[in-house]
Structure 1
Amino acid sequence: MNSQTTIFKDTKQHFEILDGLRGVAAIIVVLFHILEIFSNGDHTKQLLNHGYLAVDFFFMLSGFVIAHAYDDRWNSMNLKSFFQRRIIRLQPMIISGMTLGALLFYFSDAANLFPIVHNTPVWKVILIMILGWFLIPVPLSMDIRGWQEMYPLNGPAWSLFFEYIANILYALVLRKLNNKVLTVLTLIAGGLLIHLAFTSSSGDIIGGWSLSVEQLHIGFARLLFPFLAGILLCRTGLKKTISGNFFVCAFLLIAVLVFPRLGGHSDLWMNSLYDIIAIVIVFPIILLLGANSTHKPTTTLKLSKFLGDLSYPLYITHFPIVYVFYAWVINHNITLENAWPTAIAVLLISIITAYVALQYFDIPIRKWLTKKILHSKTK
């Protein structure tokens, strides 16, 4: 598979190890979502318990990569060009994920889980799909699934909503700030994140997927600290003072994301503290280890590139498939012991779907748009 660095020559060289870590985190997210149905909504019973923290790791990676790619380009790049680049990078797979969600919507019919799927007319599904193509969030009154998601055809797209907000903040404000001011903002954002964690009624920072005031608060708190910290780490942390390799970084990341729940229902503060330590301390260490890693063009590098290329397509296309899996589990009263072969199949189908979407939709569309919109300006 051609790497995206050779196809899209307009971008800087990637940190391949960080790309690979993004892929590892995306796979953990898929497994987390597959297993979530067996917890019956009880966060303490969730297997691979802290997989939700992958989103916070993604936000930190995003801040790091955005700063690396664009901080020194603003003498030759305007706002329009920046937003064109970001839309070209993100939007094709959003369209893929929403379309897949619409195609599989009625296959996820499960009255006890998704109470309004059965009675949702086709025209409304199409309308929600079109809104989703443009990442326009759905208000609670337009929900078509019953979970109050801002993107009921593809729930994880909520993090892309906040990703776009982060990109806007970077382009309009954050790129202009010196490191001292950015440090102060990062500390304030860290305080908001700590407040969220220790006031959460569930003892974690899970949430952000709805247009309700509570969920928007969670989403912004989860976004701001890791994204700002990622920018700061890029500007100050590339000193080659520490180094690691892909497998060390991947092991640390997996360990954080699959660590068992702490405290149960009685000592919620224990799991809240774990979330904060993971985001504020461990994720920056993993990121710097990965960014400062030295590697050679070996199988490890190829694996990192493959996982990196697959990560975003996998993240943004897997949940429509998981919705169908959920419906099967609920409608047939399937236990985890009996569901694991199908669960493995769901993981494999999700990976194959993501790879096909990458190869035959995302890469061709982005290559065409890059040539049409960006490269044409230089002629």
Structure 2
Amino acid sequence: MKAQLLPEVKTTTLSAKPHYAILDGLRGVAALTVVAFHLCEAHATSHLDQVINHGYLAVDFFFLLSGFVIGYAYDDRWTRMTLKDFVKVRLIRLQPMVVLGMIIGGVFFYFQASSLWPTISQVPVWKMLLVMIIGFTLLPVPVSMDIRGWHEMHPLDGPAWSLFFEYIANLLYALGVRKFSNTALAVLVFLAGAALLHFTVTSPAGDVIGGWSLEPAQLRIGFTRLMFPFFAGLLLSRVANLGRVQNAFLWCSLLLLLVLAFPRVGGAEHVWLNGLYDSLSIILVFPLIVWLGASGQIFGKGAARLCTFLGDISYPIYITHYPLIYTYTAWVSARKHAVGQDFPLALLTFVASILLAYACLKFYDEPVRRWLKNKLLARA
């Protein structure tokens, strides 16, 4: 029996616009790769021997995908939408899971014991709670309040740093960049791309890793990683002439996984080659993947359900998995095991991350967002 052809997009009542299901699926693929990357990172001695070596580039893919989706969803709505409306919509979408991620991080920190960071016996409970409450707002804490000692702006839930920059990008878009002509936006993207390329090939580490601290050098990395992909995604949403690509989800997923899992390039002697790999992946390959995904079609109900599931859990798994990673890293550090020795526990942690994300989605995120929409977006 011939597979039923399903549209690659679905229409929502909120936006009355088609929704790219394949891009949702790709976001989920990237989020799962991040979990695997962090699990392998616990066993690495340096960037050179990290398994799933370029998994950190998933953050840059998220930024580009976010810019594309923001431009597609909101560029033509500003005649009937205020800045306040936009801020409320974005907060409703992102903020509930930020709060829950911080709570989960606080609970894990309270019960975790490791030589890698101070324990709750060394950190006053009031200070941990203060860091958690500040985390609810996504405002970064200074290094002096980093209770874990890893120089994180959100020491209870490390990946929240990228949400901090995501909020900045949303505000830059809403406050001015949305008014840019395509030419002006292209100039901004070109300059941001040049800055990204320069940074990666001159970086002492030969990569774009970083951005999670309020330290000046880390802030530079964060903004460098943000500006090109987010606004390139916005430009792509405006100018892309979408085609019709068969099996787009499969090919895009394979290409994305290839980029993220590719071994380190250049070794310790030529770190600039890896920096070049990073920048070219962000500047050339990621826009191609998004274009292919937006041009694709979904065949069969199974594929449609898979993309929906991956898209639904992508954000919850990204913002809640790291407390589990802290625990796994502490376990590995205490035992000095290789990846293969701890594979069963790593697999258990991976599955637990998915289950935790799904539970948070169904029992917290979706109900809370529905309630907030009814309360705050009734007029819209």
Q: TM-score, normalised by structure 2?
A: 0.94
- SS of the residue 1:336 aligns to: coil
2:128 equivalent to 1:125? yes
Aligned length: 371
Letter in 1 for 2:56: Y
Equivalent residue, structure 2, for 1:24: 29
Letter in 2 for 1:259: F
Residues 105, 153 of structure 1: 8 Å contact kept: yes
| Change in CA separation of 1:7 and 1:320 when aligned onto 2, cut-off 3 Å | farther
Residues 154, 160 of structure 2: 8 Å contact kept: yes
- SS of the residue 1:239 aligns to: coil
Residues 95, 132 of structure 1: 8 Å contact kept: yes
Equivalent residue, structure 1, for 2:79: 75
2:38 equivalent to 1:37? no
- SS of the residue 1:231 aligns to: helix
Equivalent residue, structure 2, for 1:106: 110
Letter in 1 for 2:42: I
Letter in 2 for 1:361: Y
Equivalent residue, structure 2, for 1:217: 220
Residues 20, 307 of structure 1: 8 Å contact kept: yes
Give distance in 2, aligned partners of 1:54 and 1:269.
Answer: 20
| Change in CA separation of 1:81 and 1:69 when aligned onto 2, cut-off 3 Å | same
Letter in 1 for 2:103: T
Cα distance, 1:43 vs structure 2: 0.3
2:323 equivalent to 1:320? yes
Give distance in 1, aligned partners of 2:312 and 2:164.
Answer: 21
Give distance in 2, aligned partners of 1:243 and 1:272.
Answer: 32
| Change in CA separation of 1:6 and 1:98 when aligned onto 2, cut-off 3 Å | farther
- Measured against aligned partners, the alpha-carbon deviations of 1:119-157 in whole angstroms (never above 9, x if no partner) come to 111111111111011111110010100101000000000
Residues 203, 272 of structure 2: 8 Å contact kept: no
2:234 equivalent to 1:231? yes
1:267 to 248, 251, 270: 270
Residues 8, 370 of structure 1: 8 Å contact kept: no
Equivalent residue, structure 2, for 1:290: 293
| Change in CA separation of 1:175 and 1:244 when aligned onto 2, cut-off 3 Å | farther
Letter in 2 for 1:133: F
2:97 equivalent to 1:93? yes
Letter in 1 for 2:185: L
Q: CA RMSD in A?
A: 1.6
Cα distance, 1:341 vs structure 2: 0.4
Equivalent residue, structure 2, for 1:337: 340
Residues 92, 366 of structure 1: 8 Å contact kept: yes
Residues 242, 288 of structure 1: 8 Å contact kept: no
1:371 to 367, 371, 374: 374
Give distance in 2, aligned partners of 1:89 and 1:10.
Answer: 13
| Change in CA separation of 1:117 and 1:310 when aligned onto 2, cut-off 3 Å | same
2:58 to 54, 59, 67: 54
Give distance in 2, aligned partners of 1:243 and 1:186.
Answer: 29
After superposing the two structures, state which structure 1 stretch, 241-250 or 360-369, moved more. 241-250
Cα distance, 1:108 vs structure 2: 3.3
Task: State the identity as a percent.
Answer: 51
Structure 1: gaps (5+ residues):
none
Give distance in 2, aligned partners of 1:261 and 1:114.
Answer: 28
| Change in CA separation of 1:244 and 1:182 when aligned onto 2, cut-off 3 Å | farther
Cα distance, 1:114 vs structure 2: 1.8
- SS of the residue 1:104 aligns to: helix
- Measured against aligned partners, the alpha-carbon deviations of 1:190-212 in whole angstroms (never above 9, x if no partner) come to 01101110121111010000000
Give distance in 2, aligned partners of 1:214 and 1:323.
Answer: 24
Cα distance, 1:116 vs structure 2: 6.1
The equivalences for 1:249-268 within 5 A come to 249-268=252-271
Letter in 2 for 1:39: A
Equivalent residue, structure 2, for 1:66: 70
After superposing the two structures, state which structure 1 stretch, 241-250 or 197-206, moved more. 241-250
| Change in CA separation of 1:7 and 1:118 when aligned onto 2, cut-off 3 Å | farther
